[in-house]
Amino acid sequence: MILEAEKREEIIAAVTDAGRGLLSAHDIESHMKVKPGDANFATEWDIETQRVLTERLRAVIPSARFIVEEGDTSDEVADGEVAFIVDPIDGTTNFIHGLSHSAVCVAVAVGGTPVFGCVYNPFLDEMFHAYAGEGAYMRKRGATAKIHVSARALPDALAAFGTTPYERQYADATFARAKALFLSCREVRREGSAALDICYVAAGRYDVYFEMKLSPWDFAAAEVIIKEAGGILTRLDGGDIDARRPTSVLATNAAARDEAARVLNSVK
pLDDT band at 45 (very low <50, low <70, confident <90, very high): confident
CB 192 within 8 Å of CB 120: no
pLDDT 10s digits, 155-179: 999 999 999 998 999 999 999 999 9
Q: What is the pLDDT of residue 50?
A: 92
Question: Poorest-confidence range of 25-29, 99-103, 198-202?
Answer: 25-29
Q: Which CATH number fits domain 154-265: 3.40.220.10, 3.30.9.10, 3.40.190.80, 3.40.50.720?
A: 3.40.190.80
Mean pLDDT throughout 94-104? 93
CA 199, distance to chain mean position in Å, is 7
DSSP state of 244: T
Q: What is the mean pLDDT of the chain?
A: 92
CATH 3.40.190.80: which residues of the chain? 154-265
What pTM was estimated for this model as a whole?
A: 0.93
Q: What is the pLDDT of residues 109-160, one digit of tens each?
A: 999 899 999 999 999 999 999 999 999 999 999 899 999 999 999 999 999 9
Calpha distance 103→95 (Å, rounded): 9
CA distance 227 to 70: 27
Query: pLDDT-based confidence at 1, cuts 50/70/90?
Result: confident
CATH 3.30.540.10 domain residues, the chain = 5-147
Tell me: the pLDDT tens digits for 8-24?
999 999 999 999 989 88
Residue 74 has a pLDDT of 46
The hierarchical CATH code for the domain 5-147 is 3.30.540.10
Asked whether residue 212 carries a pLDDT value surpassing 90, the answer given is yes
Q: Is the pLDDT of residue 33 over 70?
A: no
Comparing CA positions, the residue from 228, 215, 244 lying closest to residue 84 is 244
Other Cβ atoms within 10 Å of 9 Cβ, number: 12
